[in-house]
Every structure is written in C-alpha cells, then in structure tokens.
Amino acid sequence: MLSNLLIKNYALIQHLEMQPASGLNIITGETGAGKSIMVGAIGLLMGKRADTKVLLQKEHKCIIEGTFNIKNYALQWLFLQNNWEYDPQTIIRREINTSGKSRAFINDSPVNLESLRSLGVHLLDIHSQNDTLQLGAREFQLNVLDVYGQNQAVLTKYQRTYDRWVSLKKEQQELLIKSREQQKESDYNKFLLEELRTAALDPSEQETLEDSLQLMEHAEEIKLQIQNSLEILDHGDYGANEQLAAATHMLSKIRDYSSQYQALQARLESSLIELKDIVEELRMLDQEVEHDPAEIETLKSRLDTIYRLQKKHAVNTIRDLVEIKENLSRESEQLVHLDDTLKEIEQQIREVKSKLMEVGTQLSNSRKQVFQSFTQKMEDLLGKLGMPESRLSISCQQTDPGSNGLDDIQWTFSANKGIVPQPISKVASGGELSRLLFCVKYLMADKVSLPTILFDEIDSGISGEVALQMVEMMHEMSGNHQVLTISHLPQFAARGDHHYYVYKESDVDTTTSGIRKLEGAERVKEIAKMLGGDNPSEIAFANAKELMGTVRALEH
C-alpha cells in the first residue's frame, strides 16, 4: 500500500507530505485547493508523462515521491525480471528539473516510464471521472468479465497459443515473400540451368574443338605442305631418305679406322631411322587430313554454343560454366526445400489454429457462464446507488481469433424502465457512467489483489442515501484494499477511517496548497462546514455528529 506521499514544488504545492493508512482514506478540501493536483502527481509515479510547466518555483526542481509497502505482494519476480533492486519499502520518485527534463527512479535506480507503468499496475489503480469513457470499450468490457469469471489461467493459455499462431503466420508470410522473389529469379535460373544442362559441356572439349577446327579449315594447305615435305624426304634416289642412307653406307667403310667415324656413322644411322619414322608419320597424316565442310560447320556450331554461353555468363572457360551450372542446381534445390518448409509451417499453423479454436471456445464458454451472474449483481448494486430500474445486458458474437479470444462482446444498458438497452456510450449520462464504473470496480476488487485504489470525485452527481450506500461499498472494499477517495460529500468524510484536508494559503505573491489529517473535533467541524458552509451553525455541528453516528451504525 501507499505509506507515504511527498510532493515538492509541483503546481500549487510547495511541500506536501501525507501518510495514508490502511482502510478508507477520505480527502476533502475547498475547491481549487489542490486535490486534483495530488491525483496528477500520483499519476506521474505511475508512469504518466509530465507537463514541463508544472514547476511552482522555476528555479527549483520538482520532486514527487511515493513509498509503497510491498512486503506481502510477491513482486520479487518483477524486480528480478527488470533488474530493479528489491526493497519491501519500495520508493518511486519522479523529478522534473528546471529545464523541464523529467527523470524516474525505482529505489534510487534510474528507469524509464514504461518501467513505472509495469510496476504501477501492481501498486495502484486510479479511478477518475474521465475513466468512464473506457466503459464503452470492448476490450475493457472483456477484461472485466475475465476478472470477474477468474479466467486468467485459460486466457493466458489462449494468448500463448494465439502468439504462437501469429508468429507462425508471420513466418509463413515472410517465407511466401521470399518464395515469390526467388520464384521470379527461379524461372530465369531454370532456363539458364536447362540451357547449360542441354549443352552437356566437357571441361576439356574446347581446346580439342578449337584444334580440330583449325586443322580442318587449313586442310588443303596442310596436305600440300605434307606432300611437298614427302617429295623432298622420300623422292626416289634423290630423296633425303636415300641420300642419308648413302652417306651412312660411305661412313661404314671407314668406321673401323677411328672411333670418331664410328660415332658419326652411328648418329647417321639413328637419324636415318628417325627420318623414316617421320616420313611414315607424314604419310599417315596425309591420309588423315581432309577438308570436310559439313564437319567444319558442326565444329563451328559447337564452339559458337560454348562462346555464347561464356559471353552470357561473363566467363572464359568451360570449367566456369560448369561451376555456374552446379550453383544454379543448388539454388533450384533450395527453392524446393523452401517449398517443403512452407508446407511444414502450413501444417503447424493448422495444428495451432485447431488448438487455438479449442482453447478459445473453452474461454468463450467460461465467459458466457458468468454473464447472468455479473449483470444481476451489477443491477443489484446500481439499485443501491439510486438506479433501481437499470438493466445491463451482454451480447456476444463469435469473431475471428484475436489477442483476447473469439468473442466480440458488447454491453448494453438502460437506466429507465421500458427503455431498450443500448450501447453504453449512447445512452448513459455522466453520473450513470460514474456509478456503473464504480460498481465494476467494486466487483473486480473482490476478485483481484489491488493494493491501493484511488477514487477521484467518484461521488459527482450523487447525494443523500445514494452517497451513504456508495461510501459503505467503498468501506467494504477497504477491508481488502487501501482506498483513497477525493470527495466533496459529508457522507464520505464521515465514513472514512481517516480524514485528510487539503487547504490553500495565500500571501502577496503566491498561493500554495497543503494537507493535514483531521481528528476529533477538527474533523467534526470540517464535516459541519461541508453541511452548512464556512460558518456552520450549531445545527450543522449536530448534524455532523449525527451523520458520523449514522455511518458508524452502518458498520454494524
């Protein structure tokens, strides 16, 4: 609960400090004294954005500090999760410096506003007249029913399944986009791959083809030169072959005279053998060389295919083309793998969707089971608050899966007999909305652990017996929760376990606000003033004492 509130240099407040106790704390004061300013300051502790123009004295910083006793709140997990220092007496502080910059702290550790909000929802619930707008919000209506029906476990199960379903659908969408992009490339890549496969390229063929083409294109010249060479080498008695044989024979006659002659004669014999081999090979080549126009065209066509592919892919060798073909083949396999992955995700989506619908139906049924109980209790409570003819109905239509289930919920309301219930935002007045929301808070307070509830002028538009009933309901709530209520009604002031009075003081230059706790005669006097004006009569004092006795009697 909130055990201490300190406000310095904020709006009209120069220095204000109060120590709210457990039970029902009523805060009263004259109009404009700063009661709503206190609510704004507390809102800053809960993570609301600061107005940089709130400094009372521009040369000093503003400090708002709240001390919360959280010993029994089991919030260690939240502090551990966010790396905050845990303390059973947790202090939340906001500072606004002279330049208008705002800072936030939890137990003296700097934090952002989101951190304050995530902690604040576990510490305090602020209820003001402006909050009545949320009554018409479908999400708020759904949340109320889930709290009332204690559906948190099945709702959490549904939301986890829903998050998984959404995550899978997102992954599927990303893969589909990737698949479409790859498909655009794939169509062209398939053409390239098929072209390379059809070409049936051999890494060694280009050199062979080029050599063959060169031989064939120059076949006539080659044949002529071979034949001329044969004419010289092997033309009867005058050919080089016969001449060399004759020279060898002549040296054989003198080879025994000197080892030099023997060596020369041996070399000539070797040359003669080599020359005969050359002649024989030239004759074979002469037979092989042939000018074949059809074969030349075939060779040219094959080489044209190779050159065209090399130019298209900006490479110089067949090996490069083979590597490109292998890469394209791998990419094609990856696309097939992507299709398989998509099929797997589609199957997972179907399975998770089936589970989602199953849990969603369970959640929907659980909600519907409390419709009658909730509306009946709301109507009973509204009857106590001066609206005996009020009727609250709940319609529910199944919708596509959403973050909160399969239900499209709408509350309809009628404050008067014979009037068909309509959506709350269309038919309820401000006072009716205020009482509706109060009854909702009353029912929810019995279902959840809200350490501190702050009501800001919830009593607008009510008086008399209705006021007594409302403050009595507040007092019941304060049995399980600390309740702070800003009010202008004497019935509220009389029923509170603790009464605080906000006042303002003025001097020549400034007006400031302060607060003090009222006890005994001072409290009776304030209630008398609320009943009879600034100068209460004896009758007002008597009425104040009687009122305090009346509300005390309600307790029994």
Domain end marker among 274, 290, 316: 316
- Among 204-213, 265-274, 331-340, 492-501, the range with the most confident prediction by mean pLDDT is 492-501
Specify the pLDDT at position 450.
64
184-191 contacts, C-beta under 8 A, 24 or more apart = 186/331, 186/332, 186/335, 189/328, 189/331, 189/332, 190/332
- Decide if 172 is inside a domain: no
- From the CB of residue 42, how many other CB atoms can be counted at a distance below 10 Å? 23
Specify the pLDDT at position 323.
85
Specify the pLDDT at position 12.
83
Is pLDDT above 80 for 193? no
**Same-domain check for residues 119 and 214:** no
- Decide if 133 is inside a domain: no
Edge-to-edge strands of the sheet including 498-506? 109-111, 102-106, 89-96, 62-69, 2-10, 13-18, 511-518, 498-506, 24-29, 482-486, 452-456, 124-128
Specify the pLDDT at position 146.
94
- Decide if 13 is inside a domain: yes
- Decide if 269 is inside a domain: yes
CATH code for the domain in which residue 87 is found: 3.40.50.300
Specify the pLDDT at position 409.
93
pLDDT tens, position by position, 101-118: 889 999 999 999 999 999
The mean per-residue pLDDT over the stretch 16-29 comes to: 93
Q: What is the DSSP letter of 151?
A: -
pLDDT tens, position by position, 156-174: 999 999 999 999 999 999 8
Exposure class string for 285-324: b at 16+ Cβ within 10 A, else e: ebeebeeeeeeeeebeebbeebeebbeeeeeeebeebbeb
- Decide if 73 is inside a domain: yes
Specify the pLDDT at position 237.
66
**Same-domain check for residues 549 and 455:** yes
Domain end marker among 295, 316, 337: 316
Is pLDDT above 90 for 151? yes
**Residues above pLDDT 90, as percent of the chain:** 42
Exposure class string for 379-402: b at 16+ Cβ within 10 A, else e: bebbebbbbeebbbebebeeeebe
Specify the pLDDT at position 177.
85
Is pLDDT above 80 for 72? yes
Grade residue 555 by pLDDT with cuts at 50, 70 and 90.
low
Contact call for residues 109 and 381 (beta carbons, < 8 A): no
Grade residue 292 by pLDDT with cuts at 50, 70 and 90.
confident
Residue 274 belongs to what domain range? 204-316
Structure tokens at 256: 């025994």
Specify the pLDDT at position 552.
61
Is pLDDT above 60 for 556? no
The mean per-residue pLDDT over the stretch 233-242 comes to: 76
Domain end marker among 266, 289, 316: 316
Specify the pLDDT at position 223.
81
Identify which has the larger pLDDT, 447 or 378: 378
Using DSSP, state whether 123 is helix, strand or coil: coil
Specify the pLDDT at position 430.
76
Is pLDDT above 60 for 553? no
- Round to whole Å and give the CA distance between 493 and 27: 8
Distances (CA, A) of 519 to 416, 478, 498, 499, 523: 42, 20, 8, 7, 5
- From the CB of residue 112, how many other CB atoms can be counted at a distance below 10 Å? 11
Specify the pLDDT at position 551.
62
- Decide if 76 is inside a domain: yes
- Decide if 5 is inside a domain: yes
Q: At what angle do helices 152-199 and 318-384 cross, to 10 degrees?
A: 160
Give the helix/strand (H/E) hosting 18. strand 13-18
- Among 217-231, 260-274, 314-328, the range with the most confident prediction by mean pLDDT is 260-274
Specify the pLDDT at position 70.
92
- Decide if 57 is inside a domain: yes
- Round to whole Å and give the CA distance between 437 and 125: 13
Identify which has the larger pLDDT, 237 or 24: 24
Specify the pLDDT at position 175.
86
Is pLDDT above 80 for 183? no
pLDDT tens, position by position, 423-463: 887 876 777 888 898 999 999 888 876 679 999 878 877 88
Contact call for residues 385 and 367 (beta carbons, < 8 A): no
**Same-domain check for residues 16 and 105:** yes
**Same-domain check for residues 117 and 12:** yes
Specify the pLDDT at position 504.
85
Q: How many domains does the chain have?
A: 2
Q: What is the DSSP letter of 256?
A: G
Q: Among 479, 477, 481, which residue's Cα sits nearest to residue 73?
A: 481
**Same-domain check for residues 5 and 119:** yes
Residue type, 489: L
The mean per-residue pLDDT over the stretch 506-516 comes to: 81
Q: At which residue do the structure tokens 């609320």 appear?
A: 530
Q: What share of the chain is helix, strand, coil (3-state, %, to 5)?
A: 60, 20, 25
CA-based end-to-end distance of the chain: 26
507-511 contacts, C-beta under 8 A, 24 or more apart = 510/56, 511/12
Residues 6+ apart with CB under 8 A from 331: 182, 186, 189
